[in-house]
Amino acid sequence: MEKYKTLIENIEQATRQEVVKKNSISLLALVLFGIGVLCFLGAKSIGDPNSALPTFLYTLAVCLLLVSIVKFFMGNKVYVFRPSGSKLKKETLYFDARDRQPLFNSIEEKQFDTLKRIKRLENTGIRLDVLYAGKREFAAVQLLEYVPYTYETATPVICYYGEDARKFIENLHAD
């Protein structure tokens, strides 16, 4: 079996830089930072020298500020489809190992109506990783096969654009 890079490792090269990774500001980091500052100011305003509350608030402020700084620099990484500016959504679906060939043919030959008929299971032999734009103008797909202890790539990253992407996503989510 040929070894391919995974969808996340190869998405930017597979789409010729149409998909880019961007860092977005974490709202949680900003909230934690604000609460930390408020705890610090609250501890400073307490004038009772015998109270344990200022020590507790200083400790809480330092912890919250450190967590917020780490969260801020780690950030939220999102993939964006550059032509439309829409964020990509990630989805993982599992199928029975016996459905490998029909699933592969469906993806390779763009016979998306067969996706509706293939039964989905939980944590089984074949995994389908999908990244798609919210406006359904782009989809990237990769099949992975379970080999003891891990999933290994079974196909290269396959990208669909425009009408093909819309049909793929509709058939993938058809009930």
The residue written with tokens 């919250």 in the block is 64
Assigned token pair, 71: 């969260």
Helices 27-45 and 53-74, packing angle to 10 deg: 160
pLDDT at site 2? 57
Domain locations in the chain as residue ranges: 7-21+79-172, 26-74
**pLDDT tens for the chain, residues 1 to 175:** 557 778 877 777 777 778 888 877 788 899 999 999 999 999 999 888 888 999 999 999 999 999 999 988 887 778 888 888 888 889 988 888 888 888 888 888 888 888 888 888 777 788 889 999 888 899 999 988 888 888 888 888 888 988 998 998 888 876 5
Nearest to 27 by CA among 62, 71, 79: 71
- Judge whether 79 and 11 are in contact, CB under 8 Å: yes
Q: What is the pTM for the complete model shown? A: 0.71
